[in-house]
Chains A and B, each alone.
Chain A
């Protein structure tokens, strides 16, 4: 790596983090070349593992002075390539910053360092409280990463996302300056830069201390899994539940392929020929849960569910969730490789979008499994392929792109919780026009005019700061009312 970095930077970083926490050897650097999305691999120039917020500041400042780009990384479990290193840049690993600094249950606040895992927050406030955003990777993923990606999870239809639970941040901007946004209190005067920072995928700076809101555990939880002949039928049930004024804690769907894969992994006794499995969980007050749960069971039965299984205890509930969460990992039983997608659609368009995906899959002669957060329309189509078959990976990628486009055309989004990263930036123009992207860039330039924080992510094409953006000219089709960009 000699000569690839600015002279003296390695020495300076070593002085900050110590020799043991600076990685320079090629073989060790390779560990950090990818995040959870392994198809993107880039060797960083150096990996620095600071042990305190002050060290993070010093590392960022050194990068700024050496004019070297850097990428912050939590657990590296992200699924959009958001923590993919920059070639010859510095990777700042935050795994050593894992102290829970304050637990204030009276006010429902926790102050943590960014390397604390998601599950550790809920554990720290148990048994009375919990931290609602619960990505499937919660055992390993970090709060810093969750803040960067605005992570969701199975329970976010009712409880919201990371952004709804962060009340304050201490940040290091890419010029090495420190800023505090918000605090334990809500509504600090000034722009809601906190809201703009959460979900900015590491491109606006790095958080070193994070205030989170935690809430009391609900009085009761009721969970069921119902099996249907088809995803369309199950989708109608979801609509009926939600339009009945019920807001489930979670409502998740698996299609036949996912059921088969997951059943193989956990042996939960799910029917292998079921077209769809619907997991519905209600939580809240005992009385509210009871009343609403009966309604849900009735809706499922009236819609012709083949079977409705109600979890009788925590063991059965845990099995339902384990089987749901196993679907991803178990896909290896169906196909050697797969692309995970994260598109969102308005839930009412579910039937037509699933039909279109099926059509496309047949056309491309590939299998697409579907596991999704049905309440908020967040699909996770898994495009299965065999990388050893010539051309199949390319075909799968093309199919994945068409699925994204189908979802956006239905009024949806290219990503619901995984982030844009490097993986989906090419799809950004499907959702956003040039004036929108240039507005994003204004925010970026206000925070990081030299664009050294996680460059090459989110935006579809590189662009500079300092350019005065010209006024947006309307496309003739828009002017004529023939096209709409929202």
Chain B
């Protein structure tokens, strides 16, 4: 896919970045453009540097369950290629048009994170362009490797503030042949919380463990995938039932999980989505807070990560949420332009000082998306 003015090689991209930095022009890297409103709104407009020209799948080593992909490749296209060999990159964030580079730069994820980990756990090598024109890499293309520092984790979720991600090596997993989901419904946050803890203690190997909540009613969803998912789904259903929930098992469960993914996003421009980093034991309090704010929620129940959707949010609501859920960090992702809020919330001063030094060393020109990241970085 050719985009006018888009660098076609990583060298071109590094050169364009350096030129902008030398001219003291701030730059933002753009992949699919699906999450460009995330982060703090920049003080001054930045030149957009698209990665769309870096669109090659360089290697798919099916026998090794690895791939090397340029950053501008749409995730959906990469997944289609991996699926031809019965494999997947176990990342299922909601956006259809997102590029792999964008997914990594935002550290976005979906329900598969419960089983396979997130971006940080699946990227085994990275190549980046820095604002002084350097092209550097870390990691490699084997799934086990401890040589050198792990810069892929540093760049994951850095929102383009350290440099441009130009290439990624990733670990793949086999596509499971079958799946089944046990669902338990309840209108009682405490009951859902108890059921969650009971399931977390059980020897279940789930491939996704979610919660959803809306208007005083919700459910736990536990998915099993593999050669024989049935018995574990039945065990999970039994445990949910014993915890007092109304239960069912869904064998055709694709739509169910697509919906969970979709609810991580605002579907109206006036909505805000807040990602809450909590813990399983804090679920009832979180559901209570959601009710008080008139918010709906989906989350990775087993991981304690939730996405809270507020319609017509106010600054006061976000502040109240942060106060009430402390110490769980609350990061505002989607939001209306009119909402005046620091999307990141407070960052520990000592950690922020260290982050500032990291930023200064990787982007000495201060050209890469200045001011959009946590702590004003």
Q: Which residues of A contact B (CB under 8 A)?
A: 104-109, 128, 149-150, 152, 156-157, 160-161, 163-164, 173, 177-181, 183-196, 198-200, 216-219, 239, 242-243, 245-247, 284-288, 290-292, 344-348, 373, 376-378, 411-420, 424, 428, 431-432, 435-440, 442-447, 458, 468-472, 474, 485-486
Q: Once the chains bind, are A239 and B63 in contact (CB under 8 Å)?
A: yes
Complex CA distance for A413 and B138, rounded to whole angstroms: 11
Contact A190-B144, Cβ < 8 Å, known A160-B117, A348-B63, A486-B125: no
Complex CA distance for A9 and B141, rounded to whole angstroms: 45
> Which secondary structure characterizes the binding site on chain A?
loop
Q: Once the chains bind, are B64 and A192 in contact (CB under 8 Å)?
A: no
Q: Using Cβ atoms and an 8 Å threshold, which residues of chain A touch B120?
A: 163, 192, 195
Number of residues on chain B facing chain A (CB within 8 A): 99
Complex CA distance for A344 and B351, rounded to whole angstroms: 34
Contact A288-B138, Cβ < 8 Å, known A191-B355, A191-B358, A443-B154: no
Contact A243-B145, Cβ < 8 Å, known A107-B280, A195-B153: no
Complex CA distance for A163 and B350, rounded to whole angstroms: 22
Which residue from B130, B144, B167 sits with its C-beta under 8 Å from A416?
A: B144
CB distance from B136 to the nearest CB of A (A): 4
Residue of B nearest to A289 (CB): B228
Q: Using Cβ atoms and an 8 Å threshold, which residues of chain A touch B348?
A: 179-180
Which residue from A163, A173, A432, A469 sits with its C-beta under 8 Å from B132?
A: A469
Q: Using Cβ atoms and an 8 Å threshold, which residues of chain B touch A105?
A: 201
Q: Once the chains bind, are A485 and B134 in contact (CB under 8 Å)?
A: no
Q: Once the chains bind, are B134 and A413 in contact (CB under 8 Å)?
A: no
Q: Using Cβ atoms and an 8 Å threshold, which residues of chain A touch B241?
A: none
Complex CA distance for A45 and B157, rounded to whole angstroms: 42
Which residue from B145, B153, B197, B347 sits with its C-beta under 8 Å from A413?
A: B145
Q: Which of B257-300 contact A (CB under 8 A)?
A: 275, 277-281
Residue of B nearest to A407 (CB): B142
Q: Which residues of B contact A (CB under 8 A)?
A: 11, 18, 61-66, 68, 86, 107, 117-118, 120-121, 125, 127-128, 130, 132-138, 140-154, 156-158, 162, 167, 169, 173-177, 197, 200-205, 224, 226-232, 275, 277-281, 303-305, 327-329, 331, 344-345, 347-348, 350-352, 354-355, 357-362, 364, 373-375
Complex CA distance for A240 and B277, rounded to whole angstroms: 40
Complex CA distance for A107 and B200, rounded to whole angstroms: 8
Q: Can you list 17 A-B contacts with CB-CB less than 8 angstroms, sorted by A residue number?
A: A104-B281, A105-B201, A106-B200, A106-B281, A128-B201, A163-B120, A187-B305, A193-B351, A216-B200, A217-B203, A247-B174, A348-B61, A411-B142, A413-B144, A435-B135, A486-B125, A486-B137
Q: Once the chains bind, are A191 and B228 in contact (CB under 8 Å)?
A: no
